[in-house]
Structure 1
Amino acid sequence: MSASEKYECSLEKASLKKAAKELNEDPKERESAVASFRQWIEQNNAWLKTPTDTKFLLAFLRNAKFVQLAARKRLVNFWTSRTECKEWFHNIDVLDPVIVECIRLGSFIVLPKKNKEGQIILIGRTGCMDVTGKYSVDDLMRSFAPMLDFHLMDENAQVNGYVIIEDMGDLTIKHQTMFGLDTVKKTMSAWIKSYPARYKGIHYYNTNPIFDAMFAIFSPFYPEKLKQRLHFHGKKLTDLYQYVDKSCLPEEYLPDDCAEATVGTAQDCVEDFIRKLQQPEVRDFLLRLYSPEFGVKLDLKPKDDELFNEAFRKLNVD
């Protein structure tokens, strides 16, 4: 996570075109944009501690379509959220047996194959969350964090974004009671309002009356832009196939004897991703990300109207 590392762009050809068209990314101006962003961070390092390597900062610039002010706001929100919610984001180790066991529940799955748009596909299965009391909501949320943060350094993911399938099957009243208003607010703050990800679609499948009650609680927190990307498929997998190619999906989401099955079962996908998370270089990246080294000193943080005024919009970089 060194600011002095030699940066080499890893965007694929299609991602480069999309970045230019949709995100205002100019390869000739890319590094100067990062340098300007980094300079602003250095000017505020009395209260803001963050990695400043190029790929990490590009995640925020791309999310903000290279508008410096918007990138800075999201970075500050990112670390403010994680500082205020240490129980979800501090001192996480992907070798921790509790983290591994929570991931193995399969309540959140990262599929190994991207769709035709190059988007990462995630499956949420709230009904698989533990309701016996063996694991707390905080344990479960701590297991989700590395599964998303793994992709922070994936430049193609930064550009192409994510598609989320929310399978609400096996949802019970006990699952509903796990998600009080405070948990919903923290979830939306951490993963929707401050995370540098492009969510290109959220697809609800296997919905039922319990889901309807839960959705009524958290839907008001969705940004308007994301509300336009919500899709409801009831119990019709054929509807889902119009948006997500069958070859990307686990066997549980395919017709019997489907010739397009390529990624194995949902549990196969879970085990594959655990192996990826536990690679030494990935674990090291995540250990540092969740260390006390980074965050916001809340008592020193300026008020937003002082921090993001017009004077901060442009910086001269030597």
Structure 2
Amino acid sequence: MGVGEDGENSPFFMPKSDDDDDGSKFHLSDELRLLAQTELREDDATRQHALQQMREWIQKHPDIKCCRTDSAFLLRFLRTKKFSIPLAQEMLERYLVIRQLYPQWFRGLDIDDPAISELLEGGYIVPLPQRDGLGRQVILTCAARFDPYKFTSVHMTRCHSLVVECLMDDEENQIRGYSYCNDESGLTMGHVSLWSLSDIRKILRCIQNSTPMRHKATHFFNVPHYANKVFEFFISLLNEKLKDRIMLHTSIDDLREAVDPKILPKEYGGEVPLGDMIAQFRKQLEAKREAIKALDKMEIELNPKGKYVADMEDELAGIAGSFRQLQVD
């Protein structure tokens, strides 16, 4: 298949940028350069060669009809997979597949969507403006700010998807990774019963195998005792690496021993009010609105017998029911 003309109308479009995009330049600090080299096996030659290989693979792939080929996008996958080109290619293909297999979760993401906008304005999920002690982007969620009788699990997932799409092109995030703080003080069985067992397994497989993010630490705090069985089930579906990175805290005070309270919203003992953090992040979303909408131009031909579609169906065989069927303490 030919590449066609340059620009966003090309089957392999590269968003407009003033930067040299062949991957030869490292645009971040010497500290991040050393971290990338130490943790990700990245240097200038490796990065440039890997980007070239990724672009050639995309152009020759028989099922990929349209895909971003700019460095920021491709480095999402290469850095997540520590510059193993075959693993990065596999994750990119899975990413394209899930976007089309589950469009209700991953396509048509827009800050102007009324449900998403209301959830973000209400503070259900917000990336914190300051990084943690290891320089990672921190994402805070608050169950009490999600009304399970007004919104659905689809709204919840779309909200998360929009937030991470806004963050994943950031090269410092790609290198340092992400940590998560989840306030479950308002968690009810209404939240839990939103999800079918098959959907929770699907979304966890998407997070683990198809989303190019380095998940470094996940903190849960204020978990109600009646949700223990649910969390046990949730954790059982994760791979060993992610299981080891989950920390359960009995209270906000316990969390503050693991996360610098200064970076948290004022409502959690920090310095900046949550409302200010929400307003600041909304500006980022508005600035990236068109770029995020343009992701829907990407297309891969879904083959029902293809490797990744078949893998997803095989993994989910026999999974049925909902969390209502789980006994709670």
Per the normalisation by structure 1, the TM-score is: 0.85
| Residue 202 (str. 1) matches residue 218 (str. 2) | yes
2:166 maps to a residue whose letter is F
Gaps of 5+ in 1: 255-260, 305-318
1:119 maps to a residue whose letter is R
| Residue 295 (str. 1) matches residue 299 (str. 2) | yes
Distance 2:259 2:273 in 1: 16
| Residue 268 (str. 1) matches residue 283 (str. 2) | no
Distance 1:283 1:9 in 2: 26
CA offsets 1:77-136 (integer angstroms, 9 cap, x no match) = 111111111011122221223321121232212111112321000112223211223x33
Distance 2:149 2:254 in 1: 33
CA offsets 1:201-254 (integer angstroms, 9 cap, x no match) = 11110012233122123212211011111111112x333223211211111211
Match of 2:238 in 1: 222
Match of 1:160 in 2: 176
Q: Which has the higher contact order (CA 8 A, sep 6+)?
A: 1
Q: Offset of 1:189 from its aligned partner? A: 2.5
Q: Offset of 1:47 from its aligned partner? A: 3.5
Distance 1:195 1:163 in 2: 15
Distance 2:281 2:48 in 1: 32
Give the secondary-structure state (helix, strand or coil) at the position aligned to 1:197.
coil
Give the secondary-structure state (helix, strand or coil) at the position aligned to 1:204.
strand
Give the secondary-structure state (helix, strand or coil) at the position aligned to 1:109.
strand
Distance 2:299 2:122 in 1: 30
1:165 maps to a residue whose letter is C
Give the secondary-structure state (helix, strand or coil) at the position aligned to 1:153.
coil
Cα-Cα RMSD: 2.0
Q: Offset of 1:48 from its aligned partner? A: 5.2
After TM superposition, what 4+ stretches of structure 1 lie above 4 angstroms from structure 2?
none
Match of 2:323 in 1: none
Gaps of 5+ in 2: 1-12, 309-329
Pairing 1:114-125 to 2, within 5 Å after superposition = 114-125=131-142
Distance 1:33 1:176 in 2: 42
Of the three residues 48, 52, 76, the one matched with 2:93 is 76
Structure 1 residues 174 and 300, CA gap change in structure 2 (3 angstroms)? closer
Q: Is the 8 A contact 2:63 2:300 kept in 1?
A: no
Give the secondary-structure state (helix, strand or coil) at the position aligned to 1:92.
coil
Q: Offset of 1:25 from its aligned partner? A: 0.2
Give the secondary-structure state (helix, strand or coil) at the position aligned to 1:231.
strand
Distance 1:94 1:35 in 2: 33
Q: Offset of 1:68 from its aligned partner? A: 0.7
Distance 2:222 2:303 in 1: 45
2:286 maps to a residue whose letter is Q
2:294 maps to a residue whose letter is R
Identity %: 27
Q: Is the 8 A contact 1:150 1:277 kept in 2?
A: yes
Of the three residues 14, 17, 33, the one matched with 1:2 is 14
Per the normalisation by structure 2, the TM-score is: 0.83
Pairing 1:1-318 to 2, within 5 Å after superposition = 2=14, 6-7=20-21, 8-47=25-64, 49-133=66-150, 135-235=151-251, 237-254=252-269, 261-262=270-271, 264-279=272-287, 282-289=288-295, 291=296, 293-299=297-303, 302-303=306-307
- Count of aligned residue pairs for this structure pair: 291
